[in-house]
Structure 1
Amino acid sequence: MPAISQPAPPDAAFIDIRGVTKSFAKGSIRAVDDVSVTIDRGDIFGFIGYSGAGKSTLVRLINALEVPDSGTVSVAGRVVSRAKESELREIRRDIGMIFQHFNLFNARTVAANVAYPLKLANWPAKERAARVAELLAFVGISDKAKAYPAQLSGGQKQRVGIARALATSPQVLLADEATSALDPETTREVLELLRKVNEDLGITVVLITHSMTVVQHLCTRVAVMEKGRVVESGDAHSLLSNPRHPATRRFVQSALHDRPSEQVVASIRQRHAGRLVVVSLAGGGESGLDLSGLAAPATVVYGGVGEVTDRPFGSLTLALGGDEVSAARAVEQLRQRATVTDLGTASKPQLDPAWSISEEGDQ
């Protein structure tokens, strides 16, 4: 059986998941189905998808809380997918984890919660105390050292969880729906703290989430999961601004509602007889989309815009005025600046390919 010290293949990434499958209930439920993903050192990598997609199981394979039925998982050049029981403690010192519901010891103070993994690692008491003080200052709750979890807000509890996960100076931090139990303002604060963990400490962060907010504000790369498989992966902005798989399109649509449905377009046509076009910000560059100087007047009649890694993405639906020649010229101008879907006019309508994608995803 491979040991933790066994080297990974020489071409392996920092986290290398190769052909991994994991089933439960005697094989009747395949939670992870032949997944291969690579994560680079320093990434903030998000596994996204809806409940039951297999995200949590896949992440638990990274820190050996689950063992794959087949395939391999390597972290920092070490094969961990079949590590011996005696080696698991060493593995988990290098891979911190935070949880949706915090998983704090209610009978221990904040300081004692953070010190717990250090105590397991046999750190001397004086060094433990210094490390705990350092971590509580880093996460911004030094004044809560003697408090108990019941006396803390949700955001403060998650800060304790992050401090505890960082105690043994891991190379990887896993976050399992870490902001799902928090309100929007606290969510943003925790996400900024995770960004600080990544940038200041150089820790690779791996998140699982079904929240577009988490992806928009934090992730550099993402993998979309559905029914245990990774259906699409890549740079966060490129993937979400130009989704190709129905699952990714539904994920983006659920958050942005940026493209009108066929029924909405029919309603818009009652007010705008001219040409309708959907303009994607995927090709709009760092600063968005320039609508100046078009050959025909353009009115925004539908759309949704967000940001990923500080770059805009989404789409705008425009109603173009003027005669047909001017509108056609305006469409060509727009195509030089962005990706355009021409929906035609009320008399000569055209279909949006995204409608068929939506229908496919609903089956």
Structure 2
Amino acid sequence: MTDTVEDVRKGLPSASAFGRLALCPGSFTMEKSCPDESSEAAAEGTLLHRYMEYLLLKDDAAEEGMEFSWHDFLNSREYESAELNHEQVELCGRALRLLDDVKEKILDYPDAFFSLVSTEERRFLSDWIEGGEYSGQWDALFRVGSDLLVLDWKFGRVAVDSAEANRQLEALVPLAAQKANEEGIIYNGIYAAIIQPRVAGPASVTFYDDEAISQAEQDSLAVARAAVDPDAPRYCSEAACRYCRAKAVCHEAAAMVEQASLIATDRDKWELFSPAEKVQAYHLAKTAKKWAAAVDYRFEQDVAAGLIPGFEMAPGRTSFTVTDPSGAFSVLSAEFPDEVTAEAFAGCCKVGITELDRLVHAARKAADPKATTKASREWLRQLLAEYGESKTTKGSVKEVEGGAA
């Protein structure tokens, strides 16, 4: 972990990892000695969370008759300047629409107020009798009529556990109750919601009454106690290892990879495996891929640092992309007017449908503010049907209830 993360979380378990820690308590201690792994997805997630915080604070300021700009927000938080592309702005817009749906679903009477309490606030919870302490940071906390709503944005493309089964949300609920009690906010219960704008379907919402809040506190503190136990066991599984930074050095993960390579019964044909054995092999193989990717990452870092004799990083390949096709055509057609015609140049071009989607949607939205991204995509494909082709990628495996045990 970086020094900043350690300082913010004080070296304690964080609610964001509780889904993993509940499955593998020992991963907490192992991860503390592992470096952070940066990725484009993580960087985008940070940017999108910042923008959502800005949008909520902007709406809150507007109710007070105040103006609040994106750059003012970045400066107030001492963030580096960053801009979102059109697709990311649209994604955040969908997130807000999903939040509006949540509001309509949970408001207990027509004129009930909905007000922002805080954004991106980290709090700590301790049990001085039984022991155990952890922290958690919600993305937003609202007052909703006579209740509270604690909210978590998820911008990944893979659906996370539902709000009812989500350990991170479960751990955030007692922290929200703690804040409300400290600040004299009266509430009957706490709603907890996960909004995933990249995943089809509505937001996932659940409700905690007093008894459920108390149980959530006990269960979350139990996870924290187990995680900081120096003898905490490690249990390797696809779900536990998915986001664990320690899997490259974990003996249990390595053993599972070995098991995946030695799957065998007294039958030597896949067709003779039982459905349960095929499921086991499938999950082992997925875990092995994640372990291999983690080892690759750590190994490349060491090679780049000159720590592995006999290995070095080969230079990356340099690619060149024409970003201004109009300018490129003007230059080339002037140089070779007979050869580089408009038709010949167009034959060298490949239109990026994602970029074209953005351009067309922006044009349609300017003409009709109610135009949706989905409708613009469908309209564009119908219009250009004779000039292009559609391809369907291979589907992916999706686990459903009632499968092989």
Q: TM-score range by the shorter chain?
A: under 0.3
TM-score calculated relative to the size of structure 1: 0.26
TM-score calculated relative to the size of structure 2: 0.24
Of structures 1 and 2, the larger Rg is shown by 2
Q: Which has the higher strand share?
A: 1
Q: Which has the higher helix share?
A: 2
